[in-house]
Amino acid sequence: VLSPLLHQTTLQEFHGVMLAPPLLVWAFYALVMRRTRMMLVALALTLLVREDMGLYVASFGLFLLVCRRGQRLLGLALAAFGGLAMWSLIEWGMPSFGHAYHHFNAFSSLGNSMPEIAANIIRDPTRLLAAIFTTAKLKAFVRFIAPLAGLPLLALGYSLLWLPVVLVYLISNATSSGLLNDWRVAPFVPLLWGAIAVLLVRLRPRWAGVGVAALMLATVGGFFSLSPFPGGGHFDASAYQIDAHTQLGEQIVASIPPDASLATQSGLGAHLATRSWFRLFPWYDHAEPPQIVVLDEKATNLWPLSAEEFKSALLDLQLDPAVNILREQDGYFVFGLSEGASQPAQPISVTWSSTLNLYGFDLAQSKDNGAFEPLTGSVEGGSQLRVALYWTAMQPMPSHLAISVRLLAPDGSLLAQDDSWPARGALPTPLWEVGRSIRDTHYLDWSSVTLRQQSTFSAGVYNEETVEQL
């Protein structure tokens, strides 16, 4: 219960690999009790968990091949079958669903496919050693085995059940799997503790007592130095605090229609994945998109995107006139992708120098709760105005043009202003293709400004280099 290895597997969202430990417990028990049929059934079920479970099946075969003289033929068959099962799933099974296996990037130092990786290892085995014996990898292995007092390494033979797979992870250049972190290590837990149990049973009582004492001390020490749970050395109290942003997210999640197809990022996915149609953003078929996309730009968990990639993907949705912005509040966005093209609330047709055509605009203001709602009456003081301008590029624009949105008092004085390249600076006009329409969003903040009885909203375009108005 105090093992930091167990804690790091349960800290994050649930993954399919969590189904492997009970099956491996069963297979390990059957191996120790020499109940071959039971072991084969448990290993067959283990193969159904994930594509890489063949590694664990092959490790059981390796154990039989090395340690069970009467079962070496079975061990050889299991080792070959486990490797073949993983190979076939990665090379043929998963690509048959239309997507190539994308985890090869974790082994890019060795190659980009299983045949290429195998060929490079055969030609130059030292590349394996160079990948494993780094300072970071050695420290990771010490953190992995030290809370168990190193006892699994002393259970001769039984280390073959887990050590080969650990070496595969250490070869990886991925941050989490390569450094033995997170939920990926869940299948190791029963094999490590099983090896310790076998070792202690084999020892004389006195030495077994010493082993149990060492295990207790190492576990407690590992908890206080490595555990992310309360009281542990890696405990982050802020991760357990429910703030206003989190509470708002709960409301937004509850507002999504239960029968709607949707896509969202990893952090919100744990709360929305019990749907009949669910995808991890941005992994969905854009020819058949979901009805709703839910995103949180303030989230720390943006996987599978980096911060820059997420920012770009969010901006693409805000830019697309065919996407409806159903809700924007405190960094949360709810987009509608299947309700037809978004129609501007205020159609208009204004052209700047035969270059840019403004065919509509939307106005929305933030309320006390931070949510943007369409502007239907008077503007409230102390709020923020969201201005969405719908543009179409009519001609190539070699110069950098800036768009200026302003709110003016009756006497012409400036109340609020937002100047930027299109798409909040992300779409320089020389890169704007002719014929492409976008929704260009600007935010005007007058929280410290007293609004006049009647104010004028204006939009203009100028050459940023010469400041010449179009």
Cβ proximity of 40 and 206 under 8 Å:
no
Nearest to 332 by CA among 248, 261, 256: 248
Cis peptide bond upstream of 282, omega within 30: yes
**Residue 291: band (very low, low, confident or very high) from pLDDT cuts 50, 70, 90:** very high
186 phi and psi, to 5 degrees?
A: -55, -45
* pLDDT, mean over the chain: 89
Nearest to 419 by CA among 430, 432, 405: 405
Nearest to 391 by CA among 364, 359, 353, 422: 359
What average pLDDT does this structure show over 64-82? 95
**Distance from C-alpha of 222 to C-alpha of 279, rounded to nearest angstrom:** 37
**Distance from C-alpha of 95 to C-alpha of 320, rounded to nearest angstrom:** 31
SS3 call for 295: strand
Residue 193 has pLDDT above 90, yes or no: yes
Nearest to 152 by CA among 220, 87, 211: 211
User: 9-18, 35-44, 70-79, 212-221 — which is least confidently predicted?
Assistant: 9-18
For residue 355, the tally of other CB atoms under 10 A from its CB is: 18
**Residue 75: band (very low, low, confident or very high) from pLDDT cuts 50, 70, 90:** very high
**Distance from C-alpha of 186 to C-alpha of 181, rounded to nearest angstrom:** 10
Tokens 């923020």 locate to 384
Cβ proximity of 99 and 84 under 8 Å:
no
Q: What is the pLDDT of residue 114?
A: 76
Cβ proximity of 364 and 385 under 8 Å:
yes
* 350-387 confidence digits (pLDDT tens): 999 899 999 999 999 888 778 999 887 777 666 788 99
Global pTM reads 0.78
**Residue 177: band (very low, low, confident or very high) from pLDDT cuts 50, 70, 90:** low
- Ramachandran region, residue 115 (left: φ > 0; alpha: ψ -120 to 50; beta: rest): alpha
Cβ proximity of 66 and 160 under 8 Å:
yes
What average pLDDT does this structure show over 52-59? 96
